[in-house]
Amino acid sequence: MFFAETILSEQLHEFFKTGLLAGGTITFFFSIIFAGIALARIFSQPQKRLKQYIMEEDRLTILRRENTTFRIAEPFIRDLIAAAWNKNRIKLNLIAEQLTLLHTAIPWKPEEFVAVKQAESILSGVIAGMVFWNFGNPVAGIIIGFIVGLCYYLVMMSDLKDRYKKRLHELRTRLPFVVDLMALTRGAGASFTESLESAAQENKGHPISDELNRVIMQLNHGVTQQKSLEDLAERVRLDEFNEVVFAINKADELGTPIAFALSELAGQMRLRRQQLGEKASEEAETKLTGPVMLIVVACMIIAVAPFLLPVFLGGGPGIF
C-alpha cells in the first residue's frame, strides 16, 4: 500500500512539474512577444499631431486605438489613476509640460500616461517573476519580478524626461538662426505669417519647425498673433522664447518695425550663446583637471617604479 502511494505521489509530482514547465515556456514565449511590442511602441519616433481634440470621447477613442495597454486594461488603469500615490499635482504638471512639448501621437493626460506605465511595469514584473518562479526558485521570482517592474517604470519616466530635455536643447540652439531669418524676410516685405512659414520650411525636420507650424495653424484658424505667440512661450518655457515673444508683441503694440527688433534680439542671442559656450568650456577644463592629475601621477609612478621597487624590496638601487 505504501509503495503504491509512493508511486502515485511521484507520478503526481512529475505531472505538476511537467505542467509548470510547459506553463513557464508558454509564459516566456508570450513575454518576449509583449516586450517586443512594448519596446517598439515606446522607443519609436512619435508621429506629430497638431489636431485639437475637442470632445473627450474622441480623445479616448484615439487613446484606445493608439495604445494597446490602455485598450486592454482600461478599468485597471482607471483604478491606478484614482490611487493616492498618483495625486501629486506638481509631478503631474511637470509630465503634462513634457508631453505637450513633445507632441506625442497619443493625446495623453499626465495621470493616464503615468498609470499606463505603471500597468506595463506591473505586467512586466509579473511575467518576469513567473518565468523565474517556474525555474524552481519562488523567492528569486518575486525579487526579480519586483526589480524588473521597478526598473521598467523608472526607465520609461527617465526616457520621457531625457527626450524633453533634448528637445529643449535643440530649440534653444536653433532659435537665433530662426529669429535672424524672420528678420530678413520681414525686412524684405513678407508678412508675419509668411516669415514664419519660411522659417518653418527652412528648418523642416527640426523640432522648431513643429512649433512654428503650430503657431501658423493657430493663426490660420483665427487666433490672434499675440495669443498664438503666448501659447508658444507657454509650451516651450525657455527664457529665449519669452524674449522673442515679448519683443514681437511689444513692437507690434508700439508700431515699431519688427524686423529691426528681431535683428537686435538675434545679435544678443548669438552673443549669449557664445558666452554660454565659453562658460561650458571653462567648466569642462575644470572637470578635466582631476583626471589629468591622476594620469600624470600614474605616469610618474610607472617611470620611477623600476628604481624604487628594489630599494623597498631590500635590494640595492637600480633597475635590476
pTM of the model: 0.67
pLDDT category at 10 given cuts 50, 70, 90 is low
Looking at residue 157, its pLDDT comes to 93
Looking at residue 314, its pLDDT comes to 61
CATH number of 170-274: 1.20.81
Every domain range in the chain assigned CATH 1.20.81? 170-274
Radius of gyration of the chain (CA): 30
Phi, psi of 176, rounded to the nearest 5 degrees: -55, -40
Say if residue 162's pLDDT is above 90: yes
Looking at residue 12, its pLDDT comes to 47
Q: Which is higher by pLDDT, 150 or 19?
A: 150
Distance between CA atoms of residues 277 and 172, nearest Å: 13
Looking at residue 31, its pLDDT comes to 53
pLDDT category at 53 given cuts 50, 70, 90 is very low
Looking at residue 151, its pLDDT comes to 93
pLDDT category at 115 given cuts 50, 70, 90 is very high
Q: Which is higher by pLDDT, 273 or 123?
A: 123
- Taking residues 88-100, report their average pLDDT: 89
pLDDT category at 156 given cuts 50, 70, 90 is very high
Residue with C-alpha cell 493608439?
Answer: 66
Looking at residue 52, its pLDDT comes to 47
- Taking residues 232-247, report their average pLDDT: 87
Contacts of 152 (CB under 8 A, 6+ apart): 117, 120, 121, 124, 125
For the chain, percent of residues with pLDDT exceeding 70: 76
pLDDT category at 249 given cuts 50, 70, 90 is confident
Say if residue 275's pLDDT is above 50: yes
Lowest mean pLDDT among 8-22, 145-159, 306-320: 8-22
Distance between CA atoms of residues 7 and 67, nearest Å: 51
Say if residue 47's pLDDT is above 60: no
Looking at residue 50, its pLDDT comes to 39
Looking at residue 164, its pLDDT comes to 92
Q: Where are the alpha helices (DSSP H) in 188-314?
A: 192-202, 207-220, 225-236, 239-254, 258-312
- Taking residues 121-132, report their average pLDDT: 88
What is the largest distance, in Å, between two alpha-carbon atoms of the chain? 106
